A = this chain, B = another copy of it.
Amino acid sequence: MARLPLYLRALTGLAERGVATVSSEELAASAGVNSAKLRKDLSYLGSYGTRGVGYEVDFLRHQISREIGLTQDWSVVIVGIGNLGHALANYGGFASRGFRIAALVDADPKRAGEEVAGLQVRHADELEDLIQQLRISIGVVATPARAAQTVCDRLVAAGVTSILNFAPAIVQVRDGVDLRKVDLSTELQILAYHEQRKNGAALALTAEQAAELAEAVNG
C-alpha cells in the first residue's frame, strides 16, 4: 500500500513529540487522509488498534516498518551522476530510511574516480560486477532519456528487480520487475495545465515578456 510510508512519517512525528497513543481520527488528520481510509489500510496489516483507545504509536510504527521492509537494509545503485544523480547521492533522506547508496555509476570515463557523497564514481562497465558483489536489488536511473532503456535492461539482466526511473522515457521491463517513474517535467506540466484552466492564462507570459522581466530584476 502506497500510503504506509505516509503514516509512518506522521507516526514518527508524533513519537518525537512524546505521544504514546493516537486515534485514527488524529493520525488521519496529520497524514492528510480520511480516517475511515486510514483504519481500512491499517486493518489490512492486522488488528493493531484498541477500540475505545486508539493505536499505540511505537507499536504501530514497528509494525508498519516491518511491513514496508524497513527493518532491513537495501542496497541501491545510482546510475547517471549528473546534476540529479548528484543530488540523489547526497540526499540524506535515504540512509535514514534503510536505503544504503552502495554504488554510483556513470558512463562518462571522466567522471569515474570522482568522489561524490563519500563514494567513488565507477565506470558503467563495472555495473554488473558491482550489482553482484554488493548484492544490489534496487536501481535508480538518473541518466538522459536515450540511455534509460539500455541501463534498465542491464540492471535487470544483472539481477536488479526494482527500478526507480527519473529519466523522461518510457521503459519496458519484464514481468516480475517493479518499475516506478518520477518525471519532473511532467509534474510541472500537470500544474501548468490546471494553472491555465484556473485564471484563463492571466499569469502566463510570452517568452519575450518573461525575458524582459528577468532582465529588469536580475540585471
Contacts and interface: CB of A to CB of B under 8 A. Distances in A.
Interface size class of A (residues with CB under 8 A): 35 or more
Given A100-B214, A170-B32, A195-B137, A73 B188 contact: no
Given A87-B86, A188-B94, A73 B162 contact: no
Given A84-B91, A164-B188, 10 more contacts: A5-B186, A32-B170, A73-B205, A73-B210, A74-B204, A94-B184, A99-B188, A103-B217, A135-B205, A180-B190
29 contacts: A5-B185, A6-B186, A9-B168, A10-B170, A68-B192, A68-B196, A69-B193, A69-B204, A72-B201, A73-B205, A73-B210, A75-B213, A83-B90, A88-B184, A91-B184, A97-B185, A100-B205, A100-B207, A100-B214, A102-B210, A133-B217, A134-B210, A138-B192, A164-B187, A164-B191, A178-B195, A180-B187, A180-B190, A182-B187
Top 10 nearest A-B pairs (CB, nearest first) are: A72-B204, A87-B87, A69-B196, A137-B203, A162-B191, A83-B87, A83-B90, A5-B189, A69-B192, A5-B186
